[in-house]
Structure 1
Amino acid sequence: MIFRLIFNDFAYFFGYTVIIKVVMADVDVTALVSSQPPVKEEQGGGGEGGGGSERDAGGGLTDVQREVLERCLHALKQAQNDSHTLAALLLITRLCPASQLDKPTLRRIFEAVGLNLPARLLVTAIRGSENSGLPPQELLSLGTALLAALSTDPDMACHPQLLTTIPLLLGIIANGPVNQQSSNTDSDPANVAKSAGEGKTSKQKGDDDSEVNGVSTSQEASPSSKLDKAIAADCYQILTAVCALPRGPDQLLSRGAIPALCQAVQQNQTFSHERGLALLGCLLAGKNKDKVWSKHTAELLTLLVRLSKDFCQATDQTKLDMCAQLAQFLPPVGVAAESEELKGVVACVWGVLRPMLQAKLTPKHIGPMLVLSACLLDLYGWEFVGPPKFCCLLVNRACVEVRMGLEEPPGNELSRELQHTLTGCYRIMEAAIEQACCLAVSQTTAPPHSSIPSISLQQSRQVLGVLEEAFSALMYHLQQVDQSRYGDPFIFATFRSLCSWLAEETLCLKEEVTGLLPFLIGYSRSHLQGESPEHGLSDWMSEMSVREETGAWTGKEALRYLLPALCHLSAEEGPRKVLLTLDTPAMLVDFLSQCWTSLKGKGGVASARDPSMETACSALLNFTVTEPERVRKDPCFRTLEALLGDALPVLVHKPLLLVLAANYCTLGLMIGRLKSVPSGSVEAGQRRLFSSALRFLRSALDSGSSPGPVKVSLSWEESWDDVAELWRLCLQALGGCVRVQPWITSLVREEGWLKHTLTMLSQCSALPDQHTQGALEEALCAMADQCPVCKAEIGDVMRKDKGALICMRNLKKSVGVK
């Protein structure tokens, strides 16, 4: 039925008789009655779905029914008061079954009724007005039934007037049909929207920090405040319809949905577990999760504790059914991490999961359990999982599911449910990768903070073995993927998981990895260049992935995950040759160019390092060192030089980006040593690059004001472990540049690098280490060999026989000092 027939007993009160006389005039009543098929009256008419399937399948109205319907619609439009409107609605529900009404007809009814009436009914019921002529319970029942029916139309569901009733509805489902009096509020139709927003006695903060009016949620539920099932069903129908709108979740969150729904569940209000938890799950999904948890940590933690207790105390079958639900309500990583309550929840749930995962399970139940396990691993790693034997079992079960799911014949499509399970399995595998790889190499390696506690070397090797088999299945699956599926989010999830393995392990399955490189590079390039359809990819990943993606999709994400593996693979001859045939250096240069453009757009200000840019530089450095002829001939390296010349002068003045500057400086100088002597004048870009490099290099060490060992300057001290080797490599490359491009020696003197370095070495008693001394000596020797003026300056300082210079024997020979 369109609306619940809750006002039959009040037909006379609403002027039903008057409307019947108006509408039924000149109508053949006998024909009308005989033309009606028997119809069952449904209770809880709003319900989710609003009877849409029956409506669409309806056979239509007879001519007599259509005539009555038209007269009722006319009466609705011409109604002089609420009594006439309700009476006309009653006639429609009695004489024109919902199953026989199509959507356009329903739309006409909805437009004729409007939203003012049901909103006023709610406000009147909540105020408890004595002039209404009906008990508040009946007004609530009628108002929610009307709103529920109207909300089945998306245009009505997003109407501002309907949205103003959301706080009222949330208050109803949280507290039940209690009266919240506000006697001074005008209930005139013109003020319905205002009344709907002000018919509350307390204010709640919405998730957008705006104050929204809401029913007080401080009252404990009692038998007298239990909500009628039909009213509860209608309230949830309306809220669910709003949630389904594009901006629906934000509309609910900003009106206090989280506290109200949490209270409804805590007080066990009607349908709170069946529909309230489902609605909460929708609101906590995807990109909203971080924001909602950060704002409502206390309420959601209390709810999670309640759900975890229910989970731990449930029967075995119920526990299996609750796994998927519980995973929805775990917080995102980092939120409430120090909460003892949360730690207690995680420990309790693991205690229940252990025997369940050790038992025989059907495919239907193993998936949700593994996804829940993955979510728990995200929060605290292996800390609460259990003994090493169970940890290994968990990894093994995840790997088995992956092999079973992916080693299907080509062309078999994976269901969405299976994709969700496999995505959870990937996270379990990723959590075990670093531990297994580290301990398989050396027994003395310190285990990572999140490692499996007390795992033995033998167990670690066993884990590594099952992981290898599972990632072999991932590679097999990806081999079947053609370019038309590059936009498939599950392919991205699979690609990402494989990259986490390749970042740690490229020696196992070496031939398979090398054979997969065309796909890996093609996939990354396609996304980087925006060739793949990516609509919804970011949203899907935030919903389906256990470890959520953050931020907007840019297209660079695929390559970011692959970069650590490329850094390893570009250092090995076989894979490197394949990478060169795939024009990988050009893709890396394109990536750096896009990242630098984005960084410049922010004014060169970065709140944190971008490791992916540094890793891309490392991979390009591998090509530069091992493939000099390719560097000389490939146009992408000229593009790279131009980029470095543009970026390094800016980076030199950005302390937060010192590691990136060290990478750029190293790359620029390593490329520079491969160039020949310029035939004409030196390009401005080249000169700018070397000038910036020299200023950057001289800022690393500081001799201080008193004699003693040279120290790392304060601006470099924090990053010295990351940049020391790059700094030394820069000095060696600088020596190489001086030997092939002697013009640089004049720049060395002009920029003051030589004078600064000689002064520092003469004042200090020693350098930080032998490697640093060797790098400086190599650069100085190159300058002495190529420039008589430099040789003379170095010799003059060395003859004074002071400081660390006296230890540089090769330099003494170069300048002729004994």
Structure 2
Amino acid sequence: MADSDDLTPVAGSRSPGRDEQVGGEGGGSDCNAGEGDGLTESQREVLERCLHALKHAKTDSHTLAALLLITRLCPANQLDKPTLRRIFEAVGLNLPARLLVTAVRGSESSGLPPHELLSLGTALLAALSTDPDMASHPQLLTTVPILLGILANGPLSDQQKQAESEENQSGEMDESPDRTVQSAEGSESESNPVNVTKAAKEPEVSKQKSDGGSASKRVSASEETPQSLKLDVAVAADCYQVLMAVRALPKGPEQLLNRGAVPALCQAVRQNQTFSHGRGLALLGCLLSGKTRDKAWSKHPAELLALLVRLSKDFCQYTHQTRLDMCPQLVQFLPPVGVAVESEELKEVISRIWGVLRPMIQSKLTPKQIGPVLVLSACLLDLYGWEMVGPPKFCCLLVNRACVEVRMGLEEPPGTKLSPELQHTLTGCYRIMEAAMEQACSLGLSPAATSPQSSISSLSLQQSRQVLGVLEEAFSAVMYHLQQVNPSHYGDPFIFATFRSLCSWLAEETSCLKEQVTGLLPFLISYSRSHLQSESTEQGLSCWMTKMSVSEEKGAWMGREALKYLLPALCHLSAEEGPRKVLLTLDTPALLMDFVSQSWTLLRSKSGVASVRDPSMETACSVLLNFTVTEPERVRKDPCFRTLEVLLSEALPVLLHKSRLLVLAANYCTLGLMMGRLTSTKSVEAGQRRFFSAALQFLSSALDSGSDTGQVKVSHTWEESWEEAAELWRLGLQALGGCVRTQPWLAALVREEGWLKHTLTMLGQCSALPDQHTQEVLEEALCAMAEQCPLCKQEIIDMMIRNDKGVLSYMKNLKKSVGVK
């Protein structure tokens, strides 16, 4: 820096005192304060003179002198936002950046010791970062890798500074500060901040090779940094002030992640640098708790897993109270579900944590203490299920404690407001209950059902019943709470968590508490409809789903999620007369139609990529199919079913050749045919003809008679999905016969599309079908065609006469229908 000698007397008096300096801990401007707040008349006069000097400074020395005077006479907490902005405009960010790089490289040409440069540079950045506009400035963001490097590697040791001093004297390090800033702003620094100080110290590394390697190698040999390499408290505080200011920006976490914050902070924690266990872990926790969580783990799994191993070991060694305090921290550092699940090291970590949690859960804890323990337990369950939890008796205890917390939390008088802490605890309890519900129901309450992969699967019959009993009591409390919810609170993430948990129970169990469930249907449908038809993006719910890992699509909240979780329950409830009548009064078919329409539109928009199956679309069809079978009059009169027919006529032809969506196509085909049999028409519309043509093609593609054995087999296209689609295919054939009876024009289409000829040829040549049920539905469809169409009847007779040994010859009802003996 120019005229560095002029700075020596000023710098010798020490850089700004950290209890009053710009950007020190607890410092920073009050952005809500008025002009010149907290300053005396004399202070304002000096401030104006210093600002004038800053603006007209011709050398770095003049700039630094003015800055030092400002920081000594006007503490940061007395500077308002406009004043800070004037300082920023006068100084800019290039100077503090040059100070940092010069300090890291240890250049003696500056005339100031590296620690003074480091102290002043970080203090300036910390002060400027208190203004969000300044924190988001591209020039400030270029200093982030340098700050991260300082936090990760610490200051230079005396030996390093001596080596660098010798190199400077020999002319080996003659780069100007301006030039070093350019290198700090390069893309390499942004992507690898831990190496910023390493790059700056390259000359020194070669100098120290004879001593056994670079300083970075010597540091890595130890878990903790020697005291000589510890960061100054004030410098560390300023570095974290800048990083936290960047993190608070809308895209701040992404900015930090892209600049290598995760490996740098992990290294700072590993070396036990100043504030690393307080502010470093807190900052890392922020990066691992939001939308950047998955990306952070995918980019830096080794560093994060090593950190988790260390934290888990600390967790096991601490006292009881410290463990309780540490539970929320461990939750932050667990990997997302599905990441490194096969890692043996991760399994050891989870097993170790469970070993500590068991006695904690078995001990007497206050409601405030048990909450974080249950939340941590829920997150561990998300990762590996019940495999590592413990013996069956402990699994029962864990479920029981979660259910007790839910009952105590939700069985409060109407209008009781739940604290955020209690809501967080209950959300964790819901996840334990959901996991227990899935396991208990998968066992079928069978004492013989065991699985080596799950400790809860070894529950006795009595234990299984006890689990289901406490779950029933807890879900009764859940329904009581939801009954009190006002529509104005539909956007509350906790209400969604409660709704989602109840839906998981209803998907498995609708026979218990039937009156309560039926009474709650108005809320469930109203809640689902509100979100499906909402035009808002529901940011709160979207963020909650990202944090809780409940979104399958990993995208923004779209409003469909609420109904998606309710659909399995509706499948059961629509099959029972009492609940079905209530659902019809709530206009549930129209709601389902809206869902199917939105889902189909979304699926069509993804036509450029491989089609992804969405089971919720198939479940929605199943619910509509229940209404179609049980409520024919409603289907005939409700206009939403006419709209549905139009959608199916457009969708089925598109799905014909998409093998991954074959089950959805089977649902569409069967649903359309079941509705078609309820309509009596003599004329045909273009949409109807298009649908039935596609349906005939789809039905004929299921079986293949090309085998040399003479036995009809399931076609290659259908083979993978046959178990799921077979029943729909058979139901569709039955419905086809009904459609021919109510819509006579269809008989001609059956012949035109070649379905009749294909089916008769196959049945005449083959000796056996996949099963007896398939033979029965084919015979029923052929009988309907023979009854309605003379030409069809004649074709059937001709085939029976020509082939008297195939499956066709065994169809007695068909023979009787066409008059063949």
Q: Could you state the TM-score of these two structures normalised by the residue count of structure 2?
A: 0.91
- Secondary structure at the aligned position of 2:456 is classed as coil
Q: Match for 2:566: what amino acid?
A: L
Give the direction of change, closer, same or farther, for the CA distance of 1:121–1:710 in structure 2 (3 Å limit).
Answer: same
Following TM superposition, the consecutive aligned residue runs of length 4 or more in structure 1 with deviations greater than 4 angstroms are 13-17, 51-59, 179-186, 202-207, 211-219, 440-451, 544-549
Paired position in structure 2 for 1:42 = 19
Given the alignment, which residue of 267, 270, 295 partners 2:274? Answer: 270
2-side partners of 1:587 and 1:391: how far apart? 39
The reply to whether residue 700 of structure 1 matches residue 702 of structure 2 is yes
Given the alignment, which residue of 51, 72, 76 partners 1:73? Answer: 51
Paired position in structure 2 for 1:409 = 413
Gaps of 5+ in 1: 1-6, 18-38
Describe how 1:367-766 pairs up with structure 2 within 5 A. Answer: 367-439=371-443, 441-443=445-447, 452-530=456-534, 534-543=538-547, 550-603=554-607, 606-678=610-682, 681-766=683-768
- Secondary structure at the aligned position of 1:503 is classed as helix
The reply to whether residue 330 of structure 1 matches residue 307 of structure 2 is no
Q: Match for 2:143: what amino acid?
A: T
Give the direction of change, closer, same or farther, for the CA distance of 1:395–1:548 in structure 2 (3 Å limit).
Answer: farther
Given the alignment, which residue of 9, 13, 18 partners 1:12? Answer: 9
Paired position in structure 2 for 1:177 = 155
Deviation digits for residues 40-79 of structure 1, max 9, x if unmatched? 9617863455345699599622222221211111111112
Q: Could you state the TM-score of these two structures normalised by the residue count of structure 1?
A: 0.91
- Secondary structure at the aligned position of 1:452 is classed as helix
Single out whichever of 236-245 and 102-111 deviates more from structure 2.
Answer: 102-111
CA contact (8 A) 2:31 2:81 kept: no
2-side partners of 1:125 and 1:237: how far apart? 19
1:188, distance to aligned residue in structure 2 (A): 5.0
1-side partners of 2:235 and 2:19: how far apart? 14
Single out whichever of 760-769 and 345-354 deviates more from structure 2.
Answer: 760-769
- The count of residues paired between Structure 1 and Structure 2 equals 782
Q: Match for 1:809: what amino acid?
A: K
Paired position in structure 2 for 1:156 = 134
CA contact (8 A) 1:286 1:543 kept: yes
2-side partners of 1:662 and 1:206: how far apart? 52
1:436, distance to aligned residue in structure 2 (A): 2.0
2-side partners of 1:542 and 1:75: how far apart? 50
Deviation digits for residues 320-376 of structure 1, max 9, x if unmatched? 111000110000111111100000000000000000111111222211111110110
Q: Match for 1:775: what amino acid?
A: V
Single out whichever of 281-290 and 693-702 deviates more from structure 2.
Answer: 281-290
Give the direction of change, closer, same or farther, for the CA distance of 1:231–1:225 in structure 2 (3 Å limit).
Answer: same
Paired position in structure 2 for 1:321 = 325
Give the direction of change, closer, same or farther, for the CA distance of 1:80–1:15 in structure 2 (3 Å limit).
Answer: farther
1:549, distance to aligned residue in structure 2 (A): 7.4
CA contact (8 A) 2:103 2:115 kept: yes
Given the alignment, which residue of 780, 795, 809 partners 2:782? Answer: 780
Give the direction of change, closer, same or farther, for the CA distance of 1:639–1:401 in structure 2 (3 Å limit).
Answer: same
CA contact (8 A) 2:783 2:814 kept: yes
The reply to whether residue 197 of structure 1 matches residue 185 of structure 2 is yes
Gaps of 5+ in 2: 200-215
Given the alignment, which residue of 76, 92, 113 partners 1:114? Answer: 92
CA contact (8 A) 2:670 2:735 kept: yes
Give the direction of change, closer, same or farther, for the CA distance of 1:618–1:371 in structure 2 (3 Å limit).
Answer: same
2-side partners of 1:215 and 1:592: how far apart? 58
Describe how 1:51-66 pairs up with structure 2 within 5 A. Answer: 51-52=28-29, 56=33, 60-66=38-44
2-side partners of 1:61 and 1:206: how far apart? 43
Give the direction of change, closer, same or farther, for the CA distance of 1:99–1:140 in structure 2 (3 Å limit).
Answer: closer
CA contact (8 A) 2:22 2:76 kept: no
Paired position in structure 2 for 1:791 = 793
Deviation digits for residues 520-569 of structure 1, max 9, x if unmatched? 11111111111567133201332356888722111111111111011111
2-side partners of 1:53 and 1:538: how far apart? 32
Give the direction of change, closer, same or farther, for the CA distance of 1:158–1:661 in structure 2 (3 Å limit).
Answer: same
Q: Match for 1:646: what amino acid?
A: E
Deviation digits for residues 372-393 of structure 1, max 9, x if unmatched? 1011000100000001111111
Single out whichever of 107-116 and 581-590 deviates more from structure 2.
Answer: 107-116
2-side partners of 1:768 and 1:690: how far apart? 25
Given the alignment, which residue of 84, 97, 104 partners 2:82? Answer: 104
CA contact (8 A) 2:510 2:517 kept: yes
2-side partners of 1:604 and 1:224: how far apart? 59
Describe how 1:221-300 pairs up with structure 2 within 5 A. Answer: 221-300=225-304
2-side partners of 1:624 and 1:158: how far apart? 58
CA contact (8 A) 2:288 2:296 kept: yes
- Secondary structure at the aligned position of 2:458 is classed as coil
Q: Match for 1:170: what amino acid?
A: L
Paired position in structure 2 for 1:21 = none
- Secondary structure at the aligned position of 2:398 is classed as helix
2-side partners of 1:607 and 1:448: how far apart? 35
1-side partners of 2:638 and 2:452: how far apart? 41
CA contact (8 A) 1:378 1:547 kept: no
2-side partners of 1:651 and 1:212: how far apart? 53
Paired position in structure 1 for 2:820 = 817
1:100, distance to aligned residue in structure 2 (A): 3.6
2-side partners of 1:238 and 1:674: how far apart? 69
1:798, distance to aligned residue in structure 2 (A): 1.5
CA contact (8 A) 1:120 1:196 kept: no
1:138, distance to aligned residue in structure 2 (A): 1.7
Deviation digits for residues 127-166 of structure 1, max 9, x if unmatched? 1111111221221111111111111111111111111111
1-side partners of 2:685 and 2:734: how far apart? 23
Q: Match for 2:717: what amino acid?
A: S
1:451, distance to aligned residue in structure 2 (A): 6.5
RMSD: 2.7
Give the direction of change, closer, same or farther, for the CA distance of 1:759–1:448 in structure 2 (3 Å limit).
Answer: farther
